[in-house]
Amino acid sequence: MQFILMLVVCFSAAAGSASAPAGSAGVPAGTQAEAPALPGRAQAPSGAVAEATLYSRKIQPLFDNRCLACHSCFNAPCQLNLQNFEGFQRGANKLNVYDGTRLKSVEPSRLWIDAHADEWRKRGFYEVSTSKDPDQNLFFQITQLRATAKDAVITKQVADTHVCAQTMTDYQLLAKNSPELGMPYGFPALSPSELATLKDWVKAGSPGPDAEEFKRQNTPSVELQTQVHEWEEFLNQESLRHQLVSRYLYEHLFLAHIYFPEKPEEFFRLVRSKQSCAQGIQEIATRRPNDNPGMKKFWYCLKKFPGTVVKKTHIPYQWSPAKMARYKELFLAEGWKVSALPSYESGVAENPFVAFKDIPVKARYQFLLDDAQYQVSTFIKGPVCNGSMAVNSIQEQFYVFFLNPSSDNMVLSQKYADKAAGLLMMPGVWGSDVDIKETPLFYKKLVDHRENYRKLRIEELAKLRPEGYTLKDVWDGGGFNPNATLTVLRHDDNAVVMKGAVGDLSKTVFMLDYPLFERLVYNLVVNFDVFGNVSHQLLTRVYMDMIRMEAEELFLTFLPSEERLSYRRSWYRGLLTQAKMSYVYPTVGSAVPTGIKFNEDNNTKKQFVQKVLFFHQNETVRGGWDLINWKSLEIPDSMQGQWKVKGLDKELRKIAAVKAEAATPFSRFFPDLALLNIKTPKGLKIYSLIHNKEHENISWILGESLRMDPESDTLTVREGVWGSYPNMIFNVKENELAAFVTQVRAMKSAADYQNLVTRYGLRRSNAKFWSFYDDMHVAMRKSDPVSFGYLDLTRYELK
C-alpha cells in the first residue's frame, strides 16, 4: 500500500522545466558545428569579420557569456539550447523534458544526437530566428525586450515559467502581458553594443559557420590526430575479447568528455558509428548506450564535442598512452575467453553482471575504482543536467569508501558471482514504458530479488570472513590513487563529487563493493531514460533507495554489531519510516562480527573513519587535511604538526561545520550554494559555501520539507566552485573577510541574511552583474581549465 500511495501521489507532483533550440542558415544538413567557448566578455573583434567566422567569433561568445546561464541542456527554457549553432538552428519546443507524470515515454530530443537540421521540425521544434528584419525576428525581439522593459519585476524562477512564444503574435502578447520574460531572464539586459552585434547578425540572415569553418571546428587538432586514431584502432579490434571490452568501456564512458593531456581544452565523446571512423562518423542514436545498435557491424569512434562546455554536464575523463596500457593490463593480460558475445535482449543488456560475465570481475571492479570520482559523477550529473530523480535519495553530505577488490565476494568466488547475477536485476529491464498497473508487482519483484541477494551476500561473507571485515578490507587506493575516498555534497536536486573527505564527519557513510558500484552506474545512468514514463522514473528512484541502504549497511558491518541498529535508527527517524524500514529493509546479518578493534567510548563511526583516513590511507590517497571544516574529526597526536590553519582558511573556519542551533542558526538561512569571491592582491579566490540541510530521514520521494532537521544544518566551506547552480554570489575584498564572517555568525533571521546580501551580495538586478560574472568565469578557467564549464543561473535568488 505504501508503494501504491507513493505512485498515486507522484501523479500529482509538479514537473520541472525543459530545454532545446532553433535557427536558420549555415551548417550543412545533418552535420554538427562546434563553437568554442571563449573567455571574457563578448566584444566584437576589430576590423571586418568574414561571414564564415562571424558566428564563432562574435555570436557564440556572446551566447556563452550571456545566454548559457539558462539555455543549455534539457532544463533550458523552451528547450532552446545555445551551446552551438546547431542548437540555435534547432530552435525551441514547448515540451517539458522533466515531466514526472507522463504516462507514456516521449521521443528523445538530445541535441547533436537524435536529429539534425530540418529533422527537428518533424519533432515539434520551431525556428526562433524568423526573419532578416530584426523587428520581425522572434529571437531578437525577446532579447531586446529586456532592454526596453528593464524595470519589469520577476516573481518566478525559470523552472516555474512555461511561456514559449512561437510566433510574433505570441511575442506581442508576451511583451504586453509578461514583459519580465525578456532575455536574459531576470538579469541585466544586453549592452547596446551586444544588441547591435545581434542585430547585425540577424540582418545578415543569422548565418552559422560555412562548410570550411565547420570542418575545422569538428576535426581533431593536429597534435591529437595520432592518439585519436590509435584509440579508435584499439576499440575496434575484431577479437571477441576486444569487442566485449570495448562494449563495456563504451557503456561506462558514453557521458565522458574525453581529453588528452597534450590539448586538455579539446573534448571528445565516445560514440557508436554506422561506418568506420575514417569514412566519417555517423552516430547511432539509441535511447540508452546498451540498446541494440541495429546492425551487426558498427564502430566506436571519438567525436569532437561540438559545443561550449557547461559545468552541469561536464565530466572530464583523461585518455593517454598510460591509460591505454592500464586498460590492456586490466582487461587483456589474463587469458579469459569469450565463447559468444552477449545479446542486447531484455534481461541481458540491462544487467552488467550477465552481459559482461566473461570479463574477470576483478578487472571490472578495478576499472571502476581507478576513476571512481568520474563514475560516481555520472549519476550526479549524468544525461539529465540535474539529478532530481536520484539526488533527493541521498544525504546532503557523505563520505564514500570502497571495499578492497581482494575482499569482494564476487571477486573471490565465481560460483557466488554466478548465483548473484540473476538477483541483481534492475528496473531498466522493463524499459521506458513501464505498465502502471504492473508497477506494484515490479516493485515487489525488485524487493524480493534484493532481499534474496542480501541473504546470499551475508552467507558468503560468513564463509569468507568469519571473523568479520578489518581495515585491510577497505581499498587504500594502492597507495597512490586519490579516488579511494570521495565526498558527495548535495545542493537540492544536484550535487558534486570531490576527492578526499571534505566537510566534517558525515552523518552516514557509503561503503561500495563491486555489485553496489556497478548497479549505481547502471540503474541511474546506463538504464535510466529521462524521456521515460512515470513508472520507469519511479522504479529507478526507489531502486536507488535500495542501493543507498545497502551501501550504508555494508559500512555498518565494519562497526560493532551491537551498535549497528542504533546508528540505523538515527539515520531513519520517525515512526512511519521505522515501520517502512522494518517491512522493506529488515535487518540481515546483524550478528556478523567485525574484525576491527574499537575503544570503549562508543563513537565507533568516528573511530572507523579516523582509522581509515589517518592510518590506513596515506596522504597521497586521502588528500590534504580539510583545514576549514574538520571539527569532529580528531587528528592523531603524531600528526598534529601538520595541522596549521592560517590566512583565509582560518577566518572561514569560524563559519564552517557550525550547527544551526539556537545560538548560531546562521547556516539555515543560506541557500543551497553560495559562491564567495575574495579579491586578493594576487587575484580572485573563489570559495563555495554549501548548505548541508539535515533530514530526519530521506526514505520518501515526496514531502522532503516535512522531514527536515534545521537545527543540525551546517555550512561546508571549500575553495573552488563546487556546484553548477549558484543561488547567490558574494563579493568581498580580502581585508573585508573578517567583517563578512562576523556578520554571518551574527545572523538570527532571514532578514539578517538579506542584510548580508545587501552589503556583500551580487543581486541579479545589479547593473554590474555581468562584469562580476565574467571575471569569475575567467578566474575559474585559469585555476582549473580542464574542469571549467559555464555556470547555470536558473536557480539564482530572485531578489
Provide the 10 A C-beta neighbour count for residue 279: 11
The predicted pLDDT at position 781 comes to: 97
The predicted pLDDT at position 19 comes to: 34
Instruction: Write out the DSSP string of 188-234.
Output: PPPPHHHHHHHHHHHHTT-----HHHHHHHHSPPGGGHHHHHHHHHH
The predicted pLDDT at position 22 comes to: 34
Cell numbers representing residue 309 in the block: 562546455
d(CA 61, CA 574): 52
Taking the CA atoms of residue 145, residue 150, residue 156 and residue 157 in that order, the dihedral angle to the nearest 10 degrees is 80
Strand partners, 484: none
Burial (CB < 10 A; 0-12, 13-18, 19+), residue 53, is middle
Percent helix, strand, coil in the chain, to 5, is: 45, 10, 45
Provide the 10 A C-beta neighbour count for residue 578: 15
d(CA 550, CA 544): 10
Burial 352-386 (b: 16+ CB within 10 A, else e): bbbbbbbbbbbbbbbbbbbbbbbbbbbbbbbbbbb
Helix (H) or strand (E) holding 254: none
Alpha helices in 706-747 (DSSP H): 737-745
- Nearest alpha carbon to residue 430 among 312, 534, 332, 558: 534
397: helix, strand or coil: strand
Residue 707 DSSP symbol: G
The predicted pLDDT at position 414 comes to: 95
Residue 484 DSSP symbol: S
In the chain (799 residues long), the average pLDDT of successive 10-residue segments reads: 36 33 37 34 40 87 97 93 97 90 94 94 96 98 95 88 92 95 96 97 94 90 97 98 98 98 97 97 97 97 96 96 98 94 96 98 98 94 60 88 98 96 96 96 96 96 95 98 96 90 97 98 95 94 94 96 93 88 85 92 93 96 95 94 94 98 97 97 96 88 82 96 96 98 98 98 96 97 97 94
Instruction: Write out the DSSP string of 592-609.
Output: --------TTS-HHHHHH
Instruction: Please say whether the beta carbons of 408 and 460 come within 8 A.
Output: no
The predicted pLDDT at position 50 comes to: 61
By DSSP bridging, strand 316-318 and strand 257-259 are parallel
The predicted pLDDT at position 8 comes to: 35
Instruction: Please say whether the beta carbons of 149 and 140 come within 8 A.
Output: no
Please state, in angstroms and as integers, the Cα–Cα distance from residue 161 to each residue in 78, 186, 538, following that order. Answer: 10, 12, 25
The predicted pLDDT at position 27 comes to: 40
Burial (CB < 10 A; 0-12, 13-18, 19+), residue 642, is exposed
The predicted pLDDT at position 584 comes to: 83
CA 171 to chain centre: 34
Q: How many CA atoms lie within 13 A of 285 on its CB side?
A: 10
CATH 3.30.1050 domain residues, the chain = 647-783
Architecture of domain 647-783: 2-Layer Sandwich (3.30)
d(CA 85, CA 41): 19
Provide the 10 A C-beta neighbour count for residue 738: 12
* 498 φ/ψ angles, rounded to the nearest 5 degrees: -115, 150
d(CA 570, CA 508): 10
- Nearest alpha carbon to residue 338 among 238, 236, 230: 238
Alpha helices in 660-768 (DSSP H): 737-745, 750-760
